[in-house]
Structures are given as C-alpha cells and as structure tokens.
Structure 1
Amino acid sequence: MYAKQRQFDEYFNNTLNRELIEIDGVTEYATFQDQNQNNNKDMSDDKYMIVRKESVLKAGSYVKWRDSMWLVFMEENKTIPTHRQVKIKEMNHVIKWMIGDQICGDGDGYPAYVQNNTLYTLGVATSGQNIWAVNAKFGLYMQDSIEARQVKIGRRIFIGGNVYKILFKDYTARKGIISFLLEEDFINEDKDNVELEIADYYTAINQEEEPEVSGASKEVAITGTSTAKIGSLVKYEAKVSQDGKELQADITDWTIDDTEQVATIVEQSPTGITLRIENNFKKVGSVISIIGKTSDGVFGSESVRIISPY
C-alpha cells in the first residue's frame, strides 16, 4: 500500500494535466482526463477529475477550472484508496429565481447543468381526446443547498429564453445534488422579467403571494429492482392508489432522468415501462430515476443504481 501511494504521488506531482483549480472556493491541485465521447453519445464534454485523498471535494461540489464552472456528479469507490476520482460536467446555464423580493444566490443565481429530456421521451402530451401538443421537458441539476431546497413544485424558471415549470424535484437519488424535472410553459410578460430571465419577477417585487400547488391523496408508486445490471432488460410497474384503495394505473407520461444515457426505453404503457441498460462497464455506479405521471398530474419515481453483472 505504501508503494502504491508513492506511485500515485509521483504521477500526481509530475503529470502534464495537473492544474490549480478551486473546489467550493478552496484552491488545490487536480488532474483531468478526457472521457471518450462515444461513451455518452456526444451529449456533453464530461471529464474525469483526480484529487488527493484529503481534498475538500464531495459529490455536488462546484469546481472552477479554466474560467468555467463544473459540477461533481459522481465519485468512484476506489478499491485501492490512494486518491479520489470523480466525474464532472460543465455547467451550461445560470438559473435565477426570486426569494421574497431578492434574487437567489445574492443576486447572481446558481450555475446549473441542464439536459433536454425531450430527446429521451415522446416530447408531446395529449389535450382533449385527439389533440397532441408539444410538451418539452428538461432535467436541471445543481448543488444541493438550503435555497435550492426551498424551490417549490410549480415554480417557473427561465432556460434558454423559454419558461419551464417545475414538476418534480429530488435530492436523495444523488447525494449532494438536487435535480428537477421541468415542463415547457408560457412566458407571461406581466409576471416575468424577460430581460433578466427571471420568471415571476414582478409577482415577487409586488409581493404577491406565490400560489401553492394543491396536494392530492392520489399516489403513484413505481415498483421494480433498485439495482440494474449493465446489459440487462429491466421492467418497472406503476401502482396507483387513492385513500388506500388501488386504482387502475393511468401513466400518460414516462420520463427517464438519465444524465449518463445509460438506459433505452424498449416499451412503455399506462401500467409500466421496460428499459435496456447499456452493456458498458464505464456506466457502473451511475444513477437513473424513472418518473411516471398520471393523466391528472400526479408523479411517482424510483431511483435505480447501475451495477456490474458479476
């Protein structure tokens, strides 16, 4: 173990890809490795980052590297703990919302990673009996914080000049990261500051009360294995109940929260969904969330960790 640690220290002190960075405001050295773009379907320029064991880094940390902000998404459990290795994604948006009459993040908002989930869902919704309407969805990920946890279901947020409404949030599937599922909404210039890209800005400035999203006794449970082997075919069922009585499942919208593009939808129906997990050892340790929505807007979810077949 002592020899192995010396071997890593020699590499870390002399490698060309070591750079001085900031992790949550703390300056330290790290090394970076490129990720093969074939492994993530060219959706993002992810990197592997290596730091010493005593680093302040944790899942959800913000990393400032080469004038860009990155988010630590996943840390590998090293079998020989001479160092720590994580996967990072570059932040591609700054998200702002109102807290009282003030802009969050001391007026600067928060860097976030945004992914277009419409690429992995149907991207449409039914209206009436036979009308289909565009229904784009985004996944949004940022560091778990007190202010981020205060964001309510139903809040509206600007992304790329458009407004999206928060349908679902989760801070348990990925420790240190809070994730949101958003659905396309309409801009309302009476409420939204388009120039600052802050939704419900004038509502907050005028101190109008933010509408609460009404709770429902109807519940959706997604059942199936909590771990899925790479290369496997896995099925999940939806169970819907209200006031303790089981109802017929009526899932109209399935969404896969899948930042690593691990899963492919094979089949989906009002009662369940079948996924194919990519046969790639680099995906081991990834986490996906399966989210189902009923016709009246009630959500259920299940987090799944990707594991080795052995």
Structure 2
Amino acid sequence: MRAINKFDLYNRVTLSDGTTPKERMINHCKKNIIYKSRRSPSRKSVLIDSEQKDVVIVSGSNNHVKTICALPNDIIYDGQIVEWEKSHWLISDVDIESSVYYKGVIHQCNINLRWQNKDGEIISRWCYAETNTADGIKEGNTLNLTDGNLTLHLPLDNETRQLRLDRRFLLDIEKDNPTAYKLINRNVVSGIYDENHEHGVYIITLQKSERSHDRDNYELMIADYFKPTEDKSVGINCAIKFDGSPTIKAGGYYKSFNAVFYDKDGSEISQEAIWNVAVIDEHKKYFSIVNEGSTIKIKADNNEGIIGSKIKIELCNSAQNCSAELYVKVVAIL
C-alpha cells in the first residue's frame, strides 16, 4: 500500500479553498457567513422575481427601506422584485463589490401600476412612489387640478421600457372616483447601471390629469382601456389593406385604407365597399375622413388629447355577406 505523502495531503487541504491566500480568505468568509446566517433571525426565505431564495434582510431607521444581502454565490440585481411578508420590495443600489456577497437596498412598494400594452394585455408592476408635493390648485380650462407630481420607481423590463410620454394611468385606493395621471418624464439614466440594459430601476414622473368616463375603466383601474380583439383586418371574404403599421400620426398626412374582396376561391373580385369609422364623440372633431369608395382616407389633427386613443374601421359589402375590421392607434408625429 502506497504511503500518503504528507506534503501532498497538506497541499490538497490547503488548496481546496483556493490557490492564493486571497482566494482562501474569500472562501473562508463565504463558508463562515453561510454557517452563521443559519441561526440568524435576519435570514429570510423570499421570492426574488418568483424564484425562491434565502437572503439576509437588515432593518434600519426607516421601516419601508431595508438592506438586503444575498448569500455567497448568489447574485441580486437592481430592479428585481422581492416578495416577502405579504409585501413587495424593489431592489436598488446593488454594490458590485461582490467578492464575498452582493448587498443592496430594498424599498417597500406601495403602488401596483396597471396599463395595457399594444396587444391589449393588462400589465401590472409593483413600484414605489416618492413624495407627492402639492402646491395648491392650478386652474385648468375645464377642471381644477391639484398641482403635484408623482415619481415612480419600477423594474426595468420589456414592458416598462415601452412606456412613453402622455401615457395615462389610474392611481387611487378607491375605484369609484380614481385620480388620473399622465406620464410627463421618463428617466432611463439614474437607476440603470447595467451596460446591457437588462436590469435596472426605471424612473417615471406622473402629473395629475383629467379622467375620461368614456375611455377609462375604473373597475380594472386601466386608463384608455380598449377591449383586446383578434386581428380581423383580414376578415370573411374581404380585407382592409394599408401600408406600414395600423397607426395614424397626429398632425400628419392622410393615411389610406383599401378594401379588397375575394370570391370563394380566393381570387379578387369587384364589390361595393361599405365603410364605417367608429370614433368616440369627444374626438370626432379632430379627425378628417374622406370616403373614395374602395379607399377611405383618414387624417388626425395635432392634438395631445387623442394620442394613444384608437379608432375602429369596419368594412363590408352591400350584400353584407363579408366583413373585416381594424383598430387603428393614434400616435405622436415624432
């Protein structure tokens, strides 16, 4: 039997935690933290972006702001959401000096912001708001509005990065008479340090706005709500054809929509086009519609109030044995 070389055994034991003194010190610290945290009341089992994790949460002077430490070999990122004690917390200010463990700050979220994306899907994101400073009453043309803004901190993701100026939201603890807000500023610098822009804190500023009883859904707390529908621009034996995307630029030129009819074999045929354009009453004065038979042209005035709204174009023939419909969104010209 081969004798054990004492020097080989020493090297194996010594180098098992690293080849350099620094590596060994770091790994010893990691093991020590993991061992001691098991008995610490600060070690919590939480969900981070819906994934189960053990972390250490340390309270400070503010009950709604705490320090979070990931266990060694785990990573946390700015903009992740922590679910803990039936509440949601947003991670920020993550220290990238992570030789031993990652450390950051968590803010308790007090707003569940809700909106619809371009496909009509309802999106909700937990976020926290900074102080709303109200400076009194500002006289508007049709309504007195309290002059105060909200700054919201949200996680950066594929949905939040699509939020643009003039997007409207409903925010309130009551649904019967909610307060409406409009997005007036988006900060994509201060809270985003990831060079690939995959993680970060997305900061937006909201200003109080007017509600719309026709467009806002108080039950769902969604401003400018529209009912999601399947794309029916290609309908039964007919289709609505157009160039580019189904949008009209506010303040732009006329956009043309063309009627195409088919027989049972799919070949184009000539039919009389019957058009109908559905626009909410308060917006009708901002649209110009020209019916040229097989083509209908629509132009929208340069008015901020109609940006983000949708109109519905319906097509059928005189026999009403075919139909197609298309929702067209009004967008800013720039």
| Range class of TM-score, shorter chain | 0.5 to 0.7
- Tell me which residue corresponds to 1:137: 149
1:72-91 correspondence to structure 2 within 5 Å: 72-78=91-97, 81-91=99-109
- Tell me which residue corresponds to 1:212: 331
Q: CA contact under 8 A between 1:23 and 1:61: conserved in structure 2?
A: yes
- Tell me which residue corresponds to 2:114: 96
Provide the aligned C-alpha RMSD in A: 2.7
- Tell me which residue corresponds to 2:82: 63
SS at match of 1:116: coil
Q: Distance in 2 between matches of 1:179 and 1:123?
A: 25
Deviation at 1:5, TM superposition (A): 3.3
Larger radius of gyration: 2
Question: Looking at both structures, which has the greater relative contact order when contacts are Cα pairs under 8 Å and sequence separation is at least 6?
Answer: 1
Aligned residue type for 2:118: G
Q: Percent same amino acid at aligned positions?
A: 19
Q: CA contact under 8 A between 1:140 and 1:181: conserved in structure 2?
A: yes
Q: CA contact under 8 A between 1:104 and 1:147: conserved in structure 2?
A: no
Q: Distance in 1 between matches of 2:117 and 2:162?
A: 9
Q: CA contact under 8 A between 1:23 and 1:56: conserved in structure 2?
A: no
Q: Could you list the per-position Cα deviations for residues 81-117 of structure 1 after superposition, in whole angstroms to 9, with x for gaps in the alignment?
A: 3222110011111111112352333xxx221212234
Q: Could you list the per-position Cα deviations for residues 138-162 of structure 1 after superposition, in whole angstroms to 9, with x for gaps in the alignment?
A: 0112111111111121110111121
* Divergent runs of 4+, >6 A: 203-206
Q: CA contact under 8 A between 1:191 and 1:203: conserved in structure 2?
A: no
Q: Could you list the per-position Cα deviations for residues 250-286 of structure 1 after superposition, in whole angstroms to 9, with x for gaps in the alignment?
A: xxxxxxxxxxxxxxxxxxxxxxxxxxxxxxxxxxxxx
Match of 2:159 among 144, 147, 153: 147
TM-score (norm 1): 0.57
Q: Distance in 1 between matches of 2:50 and 2:162?
A: 23
Structure 2 runs not aligned, ≥5 long = 1-24, 173-177, 193-199, 230-277, 279-309, 312-327
Q: Distance in 1 between matches of 2:182 and 2:140?
A: 18
Match of 1:190 among 182, 206, 214: 214
Q: CA contact under 8 A between 1:48 and 1:85: conserved in structure 2?
A: yes
Q: 1:124 to 1:53 in 2, by over 3 A?
A: farther
- Tell me which residue corresponds to 1:157: 169
Query: 1 or 2, which has the higher strand percentage?
Result: 1
Q: Does 1:46 align with 2:65?
A: yes
Q: Distance in 1 between matches of 2:80 and 2:61?
A: 23
Structure 1 runs not aligned, ≥5 long = 38-43, 216-310
TM-score (norm 2): 0.54
Q: CA contact under 8 A between 1:92 and 1:111: conserved in structure 2?
A: yes
- Tell me which residue corresponds to 1:219: none
1:227-246 correspondence to structure 2 within 5 Å: none
How many residue pairs get matched?
200
